[in-house]
Amino acid sequence: MTPEDLRFLLVGAGLFILGAIGFLTRRNLILMVLSAELMMHGVSMTLVTFGRIHQTQEGQIFTIFTLTVAACEAGLALALVLSLYRKSHSLDIQLWSELREPDMPAPVQDAPARIDDGSGSYGDTPKLTPAGIVPKDPPRTKSSAGASSART
Amino acid sequence: MMDWLQAHPMTVVGLVLWAVGVLWLMPGKQAGSTRPKIPGLLLTAAGLFAFCLSCGKPQTQLADEVMFWVFAVSALLCGVLMITARNPVYAALWFALATLATCGLFLLQSAPFLAAATIIVYAGAVIVTFLFVIMLAQQSGAAGYDQKSGQSVMATISAFILLGAVAMTLQQEKLEIGVPVVVAKAKETNAAVAPSPPNMSAMMQASGSGSPAGLPTAPADAPEEKPAVPGNLLSSADPDHAVGDLKGLGRSLFSDYLFAVELAGTLLLVASIGAIALAPRREQGAL
């Protein structure tokens, strides 16, 4: 193994490690899938380097198959993310923390995201002078109702 | 381990700087705690520089050297920026850049078809689909859960310890990747039987002689010292084609691995059917 091969292997290991950190720390569902893809880049780099060390085509061929499986995985993962999003109206992974192992502690619940507080307080919206008759309360949108029910 | 620490101080320094930079750039536990990004970027870049510098001094041409540096540093830096980006759209774009840099490294390793296929699949299909989903799901702007990260310190430290272990294993002096047991046995039989049998060992020698010009490792004066390393014995390297040659790649793919290619096509079909079945229906309501 020459130093040239060594540094390609180290770059592959670094990409894998970065993907692992991203998968462990991020809370966005899509970013977790993307981090897994970054890990797969590191594996591909290592495979190609090993193929070149051994002077055979097998590294590249196996990487092509890995690419195929990664494409399938991305499609299926996005379908799963969409169906999860339809249920919870958020991409937060912590909303699905009830699927954890029974002996694991519950994650720390944080303040609700500011997308959908559903309480009618809209923060920085401009105030208009009231005029005319007082309208009825606007019906709560489906998205905010679903999100608040999913959080509780 | 202490020997390795003394022999490769640059690796350790690079890893530590890199880890601190990643930790600096990572969103904290509380939302809204925004550190300035410049020191984190500088730390990360310095760590990457030291890490790549510790990988040895290969005897390659200047152009290859410059290309490797550009692609490797940009791939790793884009990876760091991807996992620390607050905005998922930016994270997807950084991932696309990391993919492009990885494809550049594939090109340097004489894998042009693989580079093209990766760009087409990832940058062309995967990233666009991910961006669609992000824009569909986060129409209201930045969400609170993107501004935080869970257990970033533990994850970063353990991951970089793992990377240090990998680097230590790879930088062992006596590590000799690429000499499988089969070769040693074949060399023994080749030495024992004076008229060399025309089956396996001849094939191995043929596979070893087809080394491309891109690998300046094997000294020409001592071909016996560097053992010819065949890969899979079922498909030894074609001596007429160098590694990464598109003709040899296609021939091997559609002769030795034909069943696996058919299987991969079936897998794609099953995955597309599964994605259609999993995706939300229209009558179940809009997103």
Q: Diameter of chain A by CA atoms?
A: 82
Provide the 3-class DSSP secondary structure of residue A105. Answer: coil
Contact between chains at B79 and A14 (C-beta distance less than 8 A)? yes
Contacts 24+ apart (CB under 8 A), B201-204: B203/B230, B203/B236, B204/B228, B204/B230, B204/B236
Which fold, B2-170? Four Helix Bundle (Hemerythrin (Met), subunit A) (1.20.120)
pLDDT of residue A137: 72
Indicate the residue of B56, B88, B125 with minimum beta-carbon distance to A31.
Answer: B88
pLDDT of residue B177: 58
Contacts of residue B115, defined as CB under 8 A and 6 or more positions apart, other chains included, come to B103, B104, B106, B107
Note the Cα B14 to chain centre separation in Å: 19
Contact between chains at A37 and B134 (C-beta distance less than 8 A)? no
Q: Are B255 and B248 in contact (CB under 8 A)?
A: no
- Nearest CA of chain A to the CA of B193: how many Å? 25
Provide the 3-class DSSP secondary structure of residue A92. Answer: strand
Nearest alpha-carbon partner for B99 in A34, A54, A55, A149: A34
Cβ neighbours of B230 in A, within 8 Å: 54-56
Answer whether residue B178 shows pLDDT above 60. Answer: no
pLDDT of residue B272: 93
Q: What is the pLDDT of residues A29-71, one digit of tens each?
A: 889 999 999 999 999 999 999 888 887 888 899 999 999 999 9
- Nearest CA of chain A to the CA of B275: how many Å? 5
Q: What is the pLDDT of residues A76-126, one digit of tens each?
A: 998 888 888 888 888 888 888 888 888 888 777 665 544 444 444 455 566
Indicate the residue of A6, A10, A25 with minimum beta-carbon distance to B152.
Answer: A25
Answer whether residue B223 shows pLDDT above 80. Answer: no
Q: Are A87 and A150 in contact (CB under 8 A)?
A: yes
Indicate the residue of A21, A63, A75 with minimum beta-carbon distance to B22.
Answer: A21
Section A4-15 average pLDDT: 89
Strand partners, A28: A92
Q: What is the pLDDT of residues B18-45, one digit of tens each?
A: 888 888 888 876 655 667 778 888 888 8
Q: Where along chain A do its domains lie?
A: 3-97
Instruction: Give residue B119's region: left, alpha or beta (phi > 0; psi -120 to 50).
Output: alpha
Find the closest chain B residue to A9 by CA distance: B170
Which fold, A3-97? Helix Hairpins (1.10.287)
Answer whether residue B216 shows pLDDT above 80. Answer: no
